[in-house]
Amino acid sequence: MGILIDKKTRLLVQGITGSVGSFQTKQMLDFGTNVVAGVTPGKGGSKFNGVPVFNSVAEAVDAEKPNASVIFVPPKFAADAIYEACDSGIGLIVCITEGIPVHDMMRVCAYLEKSSCMLIGPNCPGITTPGVSKTGIMPNPIHRPGNVGLVSRSGTLTYEIIDLLSKGGIGQSTSVGIGGDPIAGTSFVEILRLFEEDPETHAVVMVGEIGGTAEQDAIDLIKQMSKPVIAYVVGVSAPPGKTMGHAGAIVSSGGGTALEKIQAFERAGITVGRSPDDIVRILKNMQ
């Protein structure tokens, strides 16, 4: 069930002994995620909650054969952590770190184009498949197994919508936070394609926000999908030129407003929710 992660996912945590990494690793273990290794330079040979810690990704891959990695390292080291995971043959990399310089991410994305690695993030909450696995920081209690996929640029709004869906009796196949930075590893289009191919996903919620054109770039694909997509765009009242929350959420004088995105969806015949509660109502009416 779901996309990207499953019971066969063997997760490596880069930055496992840091304050955030250690807390979130415990949460992932409690969720049932198969965390097989961690990396903190200088702490190789130790263990965290029973998980072996290594000095490098290469050592961890050689010993424990992880096939996915989640990164909790400071911004100035994050690009190198992504390179290290990619060079070690890890196919799925989830970077939680926020505040990575744009120029670093431009180089990272150019590098990854030459590989078979998929990067989710940075500055994202990661991936959760309820009842199966979690790679990231989404709160454990809010999820419910089901057939609605969710892909979002927002962080905390993702949690709010998942919680409302679950409380409304609507379970999720997988929830994916792609991050809201100007340069991201994965787009709406790539995740929507995976949901379209997933037999356990029957409908998709797509959560956008102000800044850029990532939402409009997905319209042509959505029009071709066999599954209903409900779009929601946050930031209708955001003033032009003001950053809202993070570097990607900024409206320039040339575009990127929530209203422009909503109007583009509506012109294409795509259902648009006006609030998180409205998304739940629309999905219930589809059942």
Which phi and psi angles does 243 have, rounded to 5°?
Answer: -75, 135
- The 10s digit of each residue's pLDDT in 56-102 is 999 999 999 999 999 999 999 999 999 999 999 999 999 999 999 99
Fold annotation for 11-120: Rossmann fold (3.40.50)
Residue ranges of the chain assigned to CATH 3.40.50.720: 11-120
Q: What is the C-alpha separation between 141 and 30, in angstroms, rounded?
A: 11
Q: Are 237 and 262 in contact (CB under 8 A)?
A: no
In sequence order, what DSSP letters do the residues of 250-277 get, joined into one string? B-BTTB--HHHHHHHHHHTT-EE-SSHH
Rounded to the nearest angstrom, the gap between the alpha carbon of residue 130 and the centroid of all alpha carbons in its chain is 14
Q: What is the C-alpha separation between 229 and 156, in angstroms, rounded?
A: 21
Residue ranges of the chain assigned to CATH 3.40.50.261: 138-286
- Catalytic residue, from 103, 143, 202, 246: name it: 246
- The 10s digit of each residue's pLDDT in 15-56 is 999 999 999 999 999 999 999 999 999 999 999 999 999 999
246 included as an active-site residue: yes
Helix axes 156-167, 276-286, angle to 10 degrees: 40
pTM > 0.95: no
Q: Which CATH number fits domain 138-286: 3.40.50.150, 3.40.50.261, 3.90.1150.10, 3.40.50.1820?
A: 3.40.50.261
Check pLDDT > 80 for residue 240.
no
